[in-house]
Structure 1
Amino acid sequence: QESWGSFEELDRLFFHNARNNATALYVRSHWMEDNFFGYQCLNGCNPALVRQIYNIPSNMAVNADLLHPFLPQESSLEEELKSGRVFLLDYEVLEGVSANIINGKQQYLAAPLCLLHVDQEGTLKPIAIQLQQTPGPQNPVFLPSDSKADWLLAKMWVRSSDFQYHQLISHFLRTHLLGEVFCVATLRQLPEVHPLHQLLMTHIRTTMQINIQARASLLAPNGVFDQSIGCGLTGAFAILARGASRLRYSSLCVPDDLRDRGVATLPTCYYAQDAQRVWTILFVSGWVDLYYHSDTDVQLDNEVQHWISDIFAEGFQGLTEMELPQSFESKAELSKFITMVIFSCSAQHSAVNFTQLDFNLWMPNCPASMSQPPPQSKGSVREEKELLVYLPDINATCSVLTILALLSQPTASYVPLCQYQEPFFYTGAHRGLVEKVQKELKSLTAMIEERNRIIALPYPYLSPNHIENSVAI
């Protein structure tokens, strides 16, 4: 239950476990760098939050003069905003959430706003961090020109906030819990002989089991969230509720999400590149065409209409703000929705789950909890070793890393994306569709492997041979 005594102690734990983990070793070497901070926003555990902005948030106390030193000399803040080169991380979902007590010690949460800028080469860097949502004299804006210790502490607060957001919203809510909604509705509304039951169940069948295990261990009293993570159980449920109320259907559909967030064309956003390609290959219009010859056929399929109605009314409690379909009027609408279900329960889960140990094994890069309150002025830390008091205790660190090590391993019954055992996938027209998808996925795997050979930090998480067919861990 003691605090870490030195970064050398952390190093001993890290290197004992990171010998064969090239990504973790890279993280350890580069975690303090602004370039790598920005890289993680695009390709780390939580690549689905950063978004392009055209106006500075009204609750962020920055102006053109303050930010000018961190922008191109010949440009201005107004020009950079207009050109789409300014991005934002906003953790408002954490505002006011009660923090945990770990080992009898109060923990702390922040709700940061972080501005980032992308240069002409596509490198994304943070340029301003405000640790709370309401501006004021006790909520300073930290800048890259501040002392090295101040700036690093501000970035650690953002990374700790990102840990809470990633685990609960990007990971548990948007893959595990969504998968459970789709699974329950499929079992209730689509009979086994329905072609969409046959297609969907291969991608959702393991969701219930792993979610029940999560409720019995990770999200139970005396579980990992209760004993080792900054938000604790009470905070976790508050964050999940807020995250659910902010869900939008467009954010679950890859082409819409990448376009809305302005990351689709960033040259260093490998998540975006690979997610778009996987989505395109998975798109199930061919499967839908086998059974529905017109939009009217979709409209008259009472079972599939009851299925989407059940998802909307029961799974999402009729949240109209989510803009989820309440019925299907066309083949295109149905194809898009089914593709979203399959992608969320396979590729998206891979992107947010199998990254965890790689980016978190060096714990200061992503602290699961912070043991001191957010600084209310600059100069509260003068040396990097003073940052240790903010980090989780030894036992909490080891507890979290043990779980992340388990979650980052493929299951014993691992089934790669679109590898099917059921006989009906290999008869008649189904066989041609499956073989076409498998061929395209194999080609994409080769393309990603070729790219990864020439970039500094490979991004394998959306390579089809690394994607599990369903949420199984």
Structure 2
Amino acid sequence: MLPTLPQNDPNPSVRQAQLARSRYIYKFTHKYQGCPGNSPLPNGIALAEHVPPDQEFTPDYLLRVTQVNATLLANHAAIDLEYLTGGNAGSSFSLSDWLGLTRAVGNKHLLFSTPLKVTSRIDSSFPINLDAYDAMFALIQKPEIVYKLKQGRDVCDRAFAWQRLAGANPMVLQGITHLPPTFQLTNQQYQAAIRDENDTLEAAGKEGRLYVADYSLLSGLPHGTWSDGVLGVPRNKYIFDPIALFAWKKETPLELGGLLPVAIQCQQTQDSISWCRSVAPIFTPNDGIFWEMAKAIVQSADGNIQEMVYHLGHTHFVMEAVIVAAERNLAAVHPIHVLLKPHFEFTLSLNDYAYKHLIAPGGAVDSVMGSTLEGSLTLMLRGMKNYAFNQALPPLDFKNRGVDNLDGLPEYPYRDDGLLVWTAIRKFVSKYLRLYYTNDIDVKTDTELQNWVKSIGNSQEGNIQGVEEIQTLEKLIDMVALIIFTASAQHGSLNYAQFPMMGYVPNVSGAIYAEAPTNTTPQNQDNYLMLLAPVQQALIQFTTLYQLSNVRYGKLGHYPCLYFQDSRVLPLVKEFQQNLAVVESEILDRDQTRFMSYPFLLPSQIGNSIFI
């Protein structure tokens, strides 16, 4: 049957019967199974009560997971554990644990978790040096960031700044004109940090060249714990709320411009400072080991926010609410449901695995992240409360964060590539929807659409903030385009950058394992090394992120053969694919001159849905 709007359906009774069945199958719950006793979270995450059979993983998808797991297990078997642990590899380790893949066949959750079960058998202890983290890449190619971080201070600092623009979490950077009141940086410190006596802090602010990465969302979260060594001595791990200042250094005849790190304050709230109850010190690139420690704390904070807020919260769980609301309110023949169904594929099943295993007691989040599991869930809830659906359109997000100024921030790959993909998606959505909606009246009188929108924002149902009534066709185009962008490009940019940027622990440690430095902390390499993850936690992080970053399925703009029954859609899909090919070519051209490659928004690398 061809897609129809409810007001035009010649068989409304059949349509209503199908929707009644869907509402019976698809139900919301606000009980998060990762919480003790499955207790409801206040204003919590909206989840599907269960995963219907048509949303489950398919055998061909699970085969792809198996292939990734096989690579991981072979890599783990090749790792020299005695070298990693300094001779403290656990006696319970056996090769059969690494090669236990056969036990996972036919069980979707065990299939995902087998490599993690392997890593949990290793005793936890600190590596003997940074080279031990390199040794984890026994059979797996090292990401580009590993080599950048070995090229001296200037390259390391530029790589640190680059990750605010094109890293695993390019969502935090904000433009500012004045420093925050508690961030006491002098102009002399600023000039020394960027090595330019002709530039000033005041000028950088006025010209729109000052930026901060503010991690205050982490303030007040409890520190987690871990078991140290063979005896399993309980010790603290830490999560801090740093703020980092960056400046765009203008191009000169002798030097290219670029974003440079200027200063870091490791803790912003007085309550999070251990004993002194005073404002935390500010460190700059001229502070030696203190600077390296401060960068590690920022990177860890960035990783925690990436995973719990922008990745899990703003893509996975936003889409879960959208999907359940759609299945309950849009008939299968509704043109929006037809368009979005491929962009919903496997998301409910994947999220079901995540909150039963990864974000559960003893799971990867509990083991690797800096806070307790409850603290990490609290962070996710904070992020969801800060999320506003009506502010998430890419052009609006960049404007609201003050990063849309091409003079003050000439290069920002996530912004620049993302807008290309966004434009192609919105153009396709606009042409598709105009096949069925001729004017704003058609939008207003579409009862299924209106019920869907209300359900997404209803606090008892989808509970997504900032969902507004859709009364015009242009607003509807924005909404549908945003949903496709979120499920595809937005998620892809966060998911597939995880292992390349965060799989190498010296770049991003999931937790910090010592107190933040103060002016009295001894400046030595050992104190820096003690901040980073021990072996077991590092391998869990390595394993989880490799798996998440390497399962591929489908491609943006490519739909199953004969999927669209309306023949008018086929030329639109072809045009969409052609536009994405143009975007691909432009991004590849840009990538030739970038400090580091940024392939995460190449259309050929973007899936249609959140399937991993």
2:391 touches 2:466 (CA, 8 Å); kept in 1?
no
In the other structure, the counterpart of 2:448 is 303
Q: Aligned runs of 1:366-405 on 2, under 5 Å? A: 366-375=508-517, 377-405=518-546
Deviation at 1:407, TM superposition (A): 0.3
Residue 107 (1) aligns with residue 229 (2): no
Write out per-residue CA displacement over residues 179-209 of structure 1, whole angstroms, 9 at most, x where no aligned residue: 1011101101100000000011111132100
1: CA distance between counterparts of 2:424 and 2:461?
28
In the other structure, the counterpart of 1:289 is 434
Deviation at 1:454, TM superposition (A): 4.0
Q: What TM-score results when the alignment is normalised by the length of structure 1?
A: 0.93
Select 1:35's aligned residue among 158, 181, 191: 158
Change (3 A) 1:31 1:398: farther
- Tell me the SS of whatever aligns to 2:135: helix
Select 1:23's aligned residue among 140, 144, 161: 144
In the other structure, the counterpart of 2:558 is 419
Residue 222 (1) aligns with residue 222 (2): no
2: CA distance between counterparts of 1:169 and 1:349?
12
1: CA distance between counterparts of 2:222 and 2:318?
25
In the other structure, the counterpart of 2:337 is 197
1: CA distance between counterparts of 2:520 and 2:135?
29
2: CA distance between counterparts of 1:155 and 1:230?
16
Select 2:260's aligned residue among 98, 102, 125: 125
Bigger relative contact order, structure 1 or 2, given CA contacts below 8 A and separation 6+? 1
Between 1:293-302 and 1:380-389, the stretch displaced more is 380-389
Deviation at 1:315, TM superposition (A): 7.3
- Tell me the SS of whatever aligns to 1:127: strand
Deviation at 1:102, TM superposition (A): 1.1
Unaligned ranges ≥5, structure 2: 1-123, 228-233, 252-256, 271-276
Deviation at 1:398, TM superposition (A): 0.5
Change (3 A) 1:90 1:404: same
Deviation at 1:384, TM superposition (A): 2.7
- Tell me the SS of whatever aligns to 2:511: coil
Unaligned ranges ≥5, structure 1: none
2:130 touches 2:506 (CA, 8 Å); kept in 1?
no
2:126 touches 2:533 (CA, 8 Å); kept in 1?
yes
Between 1:287-296 and 1:275-284, the stretch displaced more is 287-296
AA of the residue aligned to 1:312: G
Higher-Rg structure is 2
- Tell me the SS of whatever aligns to 1:13: coil
1:205 touches 1:470 (CA, 8 Å); kept in 2?
yes
Deviation at 1:392, TM superposition (A): 1.4
2:246 touches 2:263 (CA, 8 Å); kept in 1?
yes
Deviation at 1:66, TM superposition (A): 4.0
Q: Aligned runs of 1:8-157 on 2, under 5 Å? A: 8-14=131-137, 16-19=138-141, 21-30=142-151, 33-70=156-193, 72-103=196-227, 104-121=234-251, 122-134=257-269, 137=278, 139-146=280-287, 148-157=288-297
In the other structure, the counterpart of 1:274 is 417
Deviation at 1:224, TM superposition (A): 1.1
Write out per-residue CA displacement over residues 205-264 of structure 1, whole angstroms, 9 at most, x where no aligned residue: 321000000011101111111223212311111101111111123552111112222334
2:321 touches 2:463 (CA, 8 Å); kept in 1?
no
1:181 touches 1:311 (CA, 8 Å); kept in 2?
yes
Q: Percent identity?
A: 29
- Tell me the SS of whatever aligns to 2:523: coil
Deviation at 1:29, TM superposition (A): 2.8
2:369 touches 2:376 (CA, 8 Å); kept in 1?
no
2: CA distance between counterparts of 1:25 and 1:351?
20
1:30 touches 1:36 (CA, 8 Å); kept in 2?
no
Change (3 A) 1:31 1:138: farther
Between 1:166-175 and 1:27-36, the stretch displaced more is 27-36
- Tell me the SS of whatever aligns to 2:172: coil
Change (3 A) 1:45 1:274: same
2:359 touches 2:373 (CA, 8 Å); kept in 1?
yes
In the other structure, the counterpart of 1:409 is 550
1: CA distance between counterparts of 2:225 and 2:152?
27
In the other structure, the counterpart of 1:333 is 475
In the other structure, the counterpart of 1:164 is 304
Write out per-residue CA displacement over residues 42-99 of structure 1, whole angstroms, 9 at most, x where no aligned residue: 0000001111111211232334454343354233322211111000111111001002
2: CA distance between counterparts of 1:211 and 1:315?
20
1: CA distance between counterparts of 2:346 and 2:463?
26
1: CA distance between counterparts of 2:601 and 2:311?
15
Aligned length: 464
AA of the residue aligned to 2:516: P
Deviation at 1:27, TM superposition (A): 4.2
Write out per-residue CA displacement over residues 436-470 of structure 1, whole angstroms, 9 at most, x where no aligned residue: 10111112112222333343422111000000110
Change (3 A) 1:87 1:163: same
Write out per-residue CA displacement over residues 269-324 of structure 1, whole angstroms, 9 at most, x where no aligned residue: 111111000000000111121111111110111110100000011478767xx433
1: CA distance between counterparts of 2:152 and 2:235?
27
Deviation at 1:424, TM superposition (A): 4.5
Select 2:582's aligned residue among 443, 447, 461: 443
Deviation at 1:170, TM superposition (A): 1.2
2: CA distance between counterparts of 1:152 and 1:454?
27
1:108 touches 1:373 (CA, 8 Å); kept in 2?
yes
2: CA distance between counterparts of 1:156 and 1:184?
39
Change (3 A) 1:31 1:381: farther
Change (3 A) 1:95 1:83: same
